[in-house]
């Protein structure tokens, strides 16, 4: 439980700091990210349990990666992360999960995700900010990538890339668990003022 509380405090600090740097009020951030002001107030007080979609919308609006909202200060020049050390940010009812392993630093960060999709289970993603590019590499099993309503069947050894500013989803297919590595390439600079 102490780890969860520490993670919430770090998230609260990072959201508040990013909002302040961007010069946004709670109302304006809430409007742009489509998150209620009450939820933002709770989040900045390290209360509640924001879901994955909320974190993605906040990160996109603030022009940051999801992990930039969740990570404490850098620990050194090389960072090694094992999958078991990272809590899933999304868990499906059939056992699917998504873990944000790490994010590179710099003006155009890249998130590295490890996904597990059970057959028939789907994660629908909202569109990201303009300029976000996703790459999906299937390492075992089969999946269906849905981008803007079009389905793409993928299997082990295949990689796809697409612009993430359109509705998209990932669905396990076949008869066994699908494993994939996803990278999310975030454009440099703050999010567009929309």
Nearest C-alpha neighbor of 173 from the set 151, 153, 157: 153
102 is written with which tokens?
Answer: 């790490």
84 is written with which tokens?
Answer: 């078991």
Going residue by residue through the chain, which has 194 residues, state the pLDDT in tens, using 9 for 90 and above: 455 677 778 788 888 888 888 888 889 998 988 888 888 888 888 887 788 788 888 888 888 778 777 776 655 667 777 777 778 889 999 999 999 888 887 778 899 999 999 999 999 998 988 999 999 999 999 999 999 999 999 999 999 999 999 999 999 999 999 999 999 998 886 543 33
Which of 13-27 are b and which e, b meaning 16 or more Cβ less than 10 Å from the residue's Cβ? ebbbebbeebebebe
pLDDT of residue 158: 98
β-bridge mates for residue 143, sequence order: 154, 172
d(CA 48, CA 46): 7
pLDDT of residue 142: 98
d(CA 64, CA 13): 14
Q: How many CB atoms lie within 10 A of CB 192?
A: 13
pTM: predicted TM-score of the whole model, two decimal places: 0.67
């Amino acid at each position: 439980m102490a780890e969860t509380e520490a993670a919430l405090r770090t998230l609260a600090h990072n959201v508040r700091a990013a909002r302040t740097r961007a010069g946004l009020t709670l109302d304006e951030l809430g409007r742009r990210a489509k998150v209620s002001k009450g939820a933002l107030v709770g989040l900045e007080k390290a209360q509640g349990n924001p879901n994955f979609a909320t974190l993605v919308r906040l990160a996109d609006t603030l022009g940051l990666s999801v992990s930039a909202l969740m990570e404490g200060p850098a620990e050194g020049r090389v960072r090694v992360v094992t999958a078991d050390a990272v809590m899933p940010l999304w868990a499906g009812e059939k056992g699917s999960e998504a873990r944000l392993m790490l994010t590179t630093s710099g003006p155009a960060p890249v998130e590295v995700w490890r996904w597990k999709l059970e057959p028939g289970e789907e994660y629908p993603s909202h569109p990201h900010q303009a300029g976000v590019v996703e790459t999906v590499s299937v390492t075992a099993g089969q999946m269906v990538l849905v981008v803007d309503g079009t389905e793409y069947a993928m299997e082990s050894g295949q990689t796809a890339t697409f612009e993430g500013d359109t509705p998209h989803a990932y669905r396990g297919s076949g008869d066994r668990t699908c494993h994939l590595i996803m990278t999310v390439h975030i454009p440099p600079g703050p999010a567009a003022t929309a």
